[in-house]
Amino acid sequence: MTYHVQINVMPLKDLLDPQGKAVMGGLVNLGIKSVNDIRIGKHITLEIEAESAEAAKQIAETTATKLLANPVMEFFEIEVVG
């Protein structure tokens, strides 16, 4: 069966997020002051051929750990959407 899996890789909460800071500066330049915080990470969608949702999640976790996220700076969340 084909499972659709989403992974979000985000900068760790305690670390500076230079991309987010840059966009925040852009917002101020646009006159928008109601945004308190903005953080920018990666959104990855995968189509995985697997026997169960659990197996698909396992493959996504391997992918995230080995290829997508740098644990020194980032954390990730995995969701099997169907």
Q: Which residues bind a copy of itself (CB under 8 A)?
A: 2, 8-10, 20, 23, 26-27, 30, 32, 34-50, 59, 62-63, 66-68
Phi, psi (deg, nearest 5) at residue 22: -65, -45
CB of 12 to a copy of itself, least distance (A): 13
CB of 27 to a copy of itself, least distance (A): 6
CB of 49 to a copy of itself, least distance (A): 4
Phi, psi (deg, nearest 5) at residue 80: -90, 115
